[in-house]
């Protein structure tokens, strides 16, 4: 049973009784150690399978653990409890349901069910859902439950208006769930802990039943999970936990790295075993990983050792901008396929889901099959579909499907009954739904507020149809989002809404790129072009699980996975690490651990990429390389620059002498200021009506000092349309436009956005 185990692994497996902490580095074979230890307890020490409790974080991992133990033993470990924290909690709760005020037939409410209950409580308590969104309240209560903060304590600690509103709902939630004989997902941990705390005989019975408790991924446990394990194993102390504090990346959802850092404080007699032999990655990759994570102060300390000989240097790829970066990554995986023959061995990792958009488009353009994991394809995401529906309606007022979606994005108090009435009248008259909105005043049985909402929607579409004639698609989107208050609605959704805002920013960037691809031309055609592209992307065939395709996902989703080739993108301050982490040392250390996780996913080839400029809200802003890269030994890297970067005298850094610590050029820190760009402000091409709220999405005008100034009569050249003469000049800053009469009669007169047109002065 102990064959093919290295000395550290064998020590962890052969440890019998007492607390055990196995600090298992990435790729060190922790799953094998955990399963071999369970099998040895049963086979060698005679521990009955029913006296073993093994806890992990996913059902898949639990299933694999049971299967491996069975292979070790040569039989199924019948009676042993192996499962997730929530799965085991649910099982215990059914055993002792009466002590939690339920019956064994209780219902487990999912997120939607719990949200529905909270919404009713919010309404009953007369809490303004626009000021305190029910989703945000659910998030606050969930965080409190996972920290084992009871309603009374939460109410006593509540200081902010949001916390005070959440406290009122929290107080009412438990009685409502109990009356429905239901529990929330969080209750599957909280209620068993409460039962064990309040009923000593239950805790004693469970401690006697489970003589050995084993926990995987211990660094990811939160307060409730920690207490769950401590209560069961506290008497006999036969608790074996396996984890890696350097891979603790879930603090944002309640995990507490201190659980693993302070293990010996809680169990003073603990034996600590370190697994540092890595069986996944080559020496150059591990050398970089070790140097990166060594900068964290809150860690136990370990050094990964390579068991594989040789290995190529890590590639540090510099790109001109995010499009250039994505195209370079697509080329890199094509080169891998040419030399190794498979894309299935390649992964592209990024910090946020919003980054997938440029990668998806680069892969499509290069004809590289890809599979998006852990997220919906960019143009299939709810917030993207919502805003594309608004654009479709502006482009085509007869699009009834777009109308139906836009009507609820955001919601404006028009219910299904009113919509059915509207649709029935429209069919009878042979009119589009939007046109019928203008006749809303004639609809009987419709509340005045609803009539106003319908008329306002029709007026908004009309206004933006006029704006679209002389406005680029990115500007159209910015103004539309502000006018309908879509960004405000997303912010009210809490953390999930803020992530969706990142995707909205990427949509604005995507719209700006259409104008760039069109040479700066504005008018309705770019809007039609943009909508066509969005539709084609949405219609992509879904790849099967066995397809030879590149895998793309966030670093969080990639934890626990591995590939021979990994590309980590967007390594810039403000993106990786996120801007909010730059002023929070604890959060910055978690971001660095996340980077460490990304590095250690790679087996043979690792590409780290960053861009000197990145589009944000459709505007190209300067970036600086991630602070995680700065100061690292140059010996770790083979520096490469894209062709575009090398060809740009303004952006390119000297080669090969520069290091990630000091990249010359004109970079400016890239940071997130909501939906308002800090580097350049945009001109607002419309004025709000009286009483209309102006969202923070809209920016004040500030003329750009970087754009060329053109005058009427001046000769210019355009890369796509050729030479011509400027007939008109209008606007200022990023919205400055010129009308050019081109020499080619087939092209004729074009109206161009100067910022995107790339015009040069002079004759041919």
Catalytic residues: 30-31, 216-217, 247, 601
Residues 713/725, Cβ–Cβ less than 8 Å: yes
Question: From CA 168, how far away is CA 457, in angstroms rounded?
Answer: 36
Torsion of CA 548, 554, 557, 563, to 10 degrees: 40
Rounded Cα distance between 483 and 687, Å, is 10
H helices then E strands: how many in the chain? 29, 23
User: Across the strands, what pairs with 637?
Assistant: 314
Contact 696/717 with Cβ under 8 angstroms?
no
Strand-pair partners of 653: none
Strand segments (E) across 67-156: 81-84, 107-109
CA 159 – CA 170 distance, rounded (Å): 15
CA torsion 87-89-90-95 (nearest 10°) is 130
Q: What are phi and psi of 642, to 5 degrees?
A: -70, 160
Q: Distance of alpha carbon 91 from its chain centroid, rounded? A: 32
* Residue from 749, 760, 752 nearest 472 by CA: 752
Nearest Cα residue to 571 out of 677, 665, 660: 660
How many CB atoms lie under 10 A from the CB of residue 286?
26
CA-closest candidate to residue 520, choices 326, 708, 712: 708
Would strands 563-568 and 346-350 be described as parallel, antiparallel, or unpaired?
parallel
| C-beta neighbour count of 172 within 10 angstroms | 17
Question: Is the Cβ–Cβ distance between 373 and 396 less than 8 Å?
Answer: no
The CA distance from 696 to 11, in Å, is: 59
What is the rounded CA–CA span in Å between residue 342 and residue 551? 12
86: nearest Cα among 224, 216, 202, 213: 224
Count CB atoms within 10 A of the CB of residue 302: 19
**46 Cβ neighbours under 8 A, 6+ residues apart:** none
Alpha-carbon distance of 498 to 193, in angstroms, equals 32
Compute the radius of gyration of the chain from its Cα atoms.
29
Q: CA 508, CA 473: separation in Å to the nearest integer?
A: 8
Rounded-to-integer distance, Cα 558 and Cα 14, Å = 31
Cα 537 to Cα 513: distance, rounded to the nearest angstrom = 15
* Cβ atoms < 10 Å from Cβ of 416: 7
Strands 749-753 and 81-84: unpaired
Q: Does a cis peptide bond (omega within 30 degrees of 0) precede residue 5?
A: no
The residue among 92, 68, 308 whose CA lies nearest residue 209 is 92
């Amino acid at each position: 049973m102990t064959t093919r185990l290295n000395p550290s692994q064998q020590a962890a497996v052969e440890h019998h009784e007492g607390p055990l902490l196995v600090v298992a580095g990435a790729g060190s074979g922790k799953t094998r150690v955990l399963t071999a230890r369970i099998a040895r307890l049963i086979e060698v020490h005679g521990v009955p399978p029913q006296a073993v409790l093994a806890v992990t974080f996913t059902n898949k991992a639990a299933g694999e653990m049971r299967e491996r133990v069975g292979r070790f033993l040569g039989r199924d470990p019948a009676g042993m409890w192996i499962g997730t924290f929530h799965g085991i909690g649910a099982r215990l709760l059914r055993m002792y349901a009466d002590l939690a005020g339920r019956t064994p037939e209780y219902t487990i409410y999912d997120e939607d069910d719990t949200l529905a209950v909270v919404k009713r409580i919010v309404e009953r308590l007369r809490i303004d859902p626009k000021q305190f969104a029910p989703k945000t309240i659910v998030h606050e209560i969930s965080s409190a439950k996972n920290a084992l903060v009871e309603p009374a304590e939460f109410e006593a600690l509540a200081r902010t208006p949001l916390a005070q509103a959440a406290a009122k709902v929290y107080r009412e939630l438990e009685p409502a769930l109990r009356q429905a004989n239901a529990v929330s997902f969080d209750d599957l941990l909280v209620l068993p802990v409460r039962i064990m705390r309040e009923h000593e005989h239950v805790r004693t019975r469970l401690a006697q039943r489970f003589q050995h408790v084993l926990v995987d991924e211990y660094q990811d446990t939160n307060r409730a999970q920690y207490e769950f394990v401590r209560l069961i194993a506290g008497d006999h102390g036969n608790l074996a936990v396996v984890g890696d504090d350097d891979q603790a990346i879930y603090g944002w959802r309640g995990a507490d790295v201190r659980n693993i850092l302070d293990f010996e404080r809680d169990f003073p007699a603990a034996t600590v075993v370190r697994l540092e032999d890595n069986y996944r990655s080559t020496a150059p990759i591990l050398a970089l990983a070790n140097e990166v994570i060594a900068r964290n102060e809150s860690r136990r300390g370990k050094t990964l050792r390579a068991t594989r000989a040789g290995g190529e240097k890590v590639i540090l790829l510099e790109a001109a901008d995010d499009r250039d970066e994505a195209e370079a990554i697509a080329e890199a995986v094509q080169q891998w396929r040419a030399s190794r023959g498979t894309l299935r061995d390649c992964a592209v990792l990024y910090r946020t889901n919003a980054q997938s958009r440029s990668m998806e488009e680069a892969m499509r353009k290069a004809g590289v099959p890809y599979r998006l994991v852990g997220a919906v394809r960019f143009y299939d995401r709810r917030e993207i579909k919502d805003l594309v529906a608004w654009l479709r309606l502006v482009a085509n007022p007869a699009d009834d499907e777009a109308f139906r979606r836009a009507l609820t994005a955001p919601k404006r108090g028009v219910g299904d009954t009113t919509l059915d009435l509207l649709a029935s009248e429209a069919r009878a008259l042979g009119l589009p739904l939007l046109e019928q909105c203008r006749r809303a005043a004639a609809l009987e049985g419709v509340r005045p507020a609803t009539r106003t909402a319908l008329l306002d929607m029709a007026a908004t579409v009309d206004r933006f149809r006029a704006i679209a004639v002389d406005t680029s698609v990115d500007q159209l989107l910015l103004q539309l989002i502000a006018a309908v208050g879509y960004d405000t609605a997303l912010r009210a959704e809490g953390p999930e809404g803020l992530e969706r805002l990142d995707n909205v920013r990427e949509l604005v960037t995507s719209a700006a790129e259409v104008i760039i691809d069109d040479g700066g031309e504005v008018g309705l055609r770019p809007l039609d072009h943009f909508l066509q592209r969005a539709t084609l992307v949405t219609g992509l065939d879904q790849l099967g699980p066995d397809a030879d395709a590149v895998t793309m996902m966030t670093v969080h989703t990639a934890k626990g996975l591995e590939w021979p080739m990994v590309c980590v993108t967007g390594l810039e301050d403000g993106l990786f690490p996120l801007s909010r982490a730059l002023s929070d040392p604890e959060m910055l250390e978690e971001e660095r651990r996340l980077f460490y996780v990304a590095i250690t996913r790679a087996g043979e080839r690792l590409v780290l990429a960053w861009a000197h400029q990145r589009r944000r809200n459709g505007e190209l802003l300067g970036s600086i390389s991630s602070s995680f890269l700065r100061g690292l030994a140059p010996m770790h890297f083979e520096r490469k620059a894209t062709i575009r970067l090398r060809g740009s005298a303004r952006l390119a850094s000297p080669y090969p002498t520069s290091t990630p610590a000091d990249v010359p050029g004109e970079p400016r820190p890239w940071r997130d200021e909501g939906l308002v760009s800090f580097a350049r402000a945009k001109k607002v091409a419309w004025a709000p009506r009286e009483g209309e709220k102006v969202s923070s999405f809209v920016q004040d005008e500030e003329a750009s000092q970087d754009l060329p100034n053109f005058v009427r009569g001046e000769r210019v050249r355009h890369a796509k349309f050729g030479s011509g003469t400027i007939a008109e000049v209008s606007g200022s800053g990023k919205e400055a436009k010129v009308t050019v009469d081109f020499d080619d009669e087939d092209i004729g007169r074009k109206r161009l956005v100067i910022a995107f047109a790339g015009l040069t002065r002079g004759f041919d």
